[in-house]
Amino acid sequence: MSYSFRERLKIALREKELKEKLRLTQEEVDFIKENLMDICPYSDKVTEAYKESIRSGKSLDQIIDEFTDEQFEDLCREVFELAKKNGVWAKKKKKKAEAEAEAEAESDSDSDSDSDADSVDAEADEQEVECNTS
């Protein structure tokens, strides 16, 4: 996995220029940062194809380090599109939605137990009233 791609991407996203040029939303930027390790293999594929096309003996990191800003933007655009086509975005968003739904279900079950306790308390109060009136 290309160290140069990861580091250069982190810097570019921090500086906001890449975000603007690729028209990325803040949600997409956050997603990229959180899932960088799942996206990086696609940068290797694209860079490897480029390396073969220019018949270079350089490493992927060397090639990426030598890219101009425009070449790096093009690389990122291709990598993100490839990652989207291969379902990285969809899979991760689905997992996140499932986790949120599970967390919500757990909080609902906690509130259900509270309401169960309330009904038990109400029944106990009712029994006390019945006992007191006898």
Conformational region of residue 23, where left means phi above 0, alpha means psi within -120 to 50, and beta covers everything else: left
In the structure encoding, which two tokens stand for residue 120, read together? 């038990």
Task: Tell me the one-letter amino acid at 59.
Answer: S
pLDDT in tens, 1-58: 688 999 999 999 898 888 899 999 999 899 899 888 988 899 999 999 999 998 988 9
Inter-residue contact 1 to 42 (CB < 8 Å) = no
In the structure encoding, which two tokens stand for residue 28, read together? 């997409």
pLDDT in tens, 50-97: 999 989 889 999 999 999 999 999 999 999 999 888 877 766 556 666
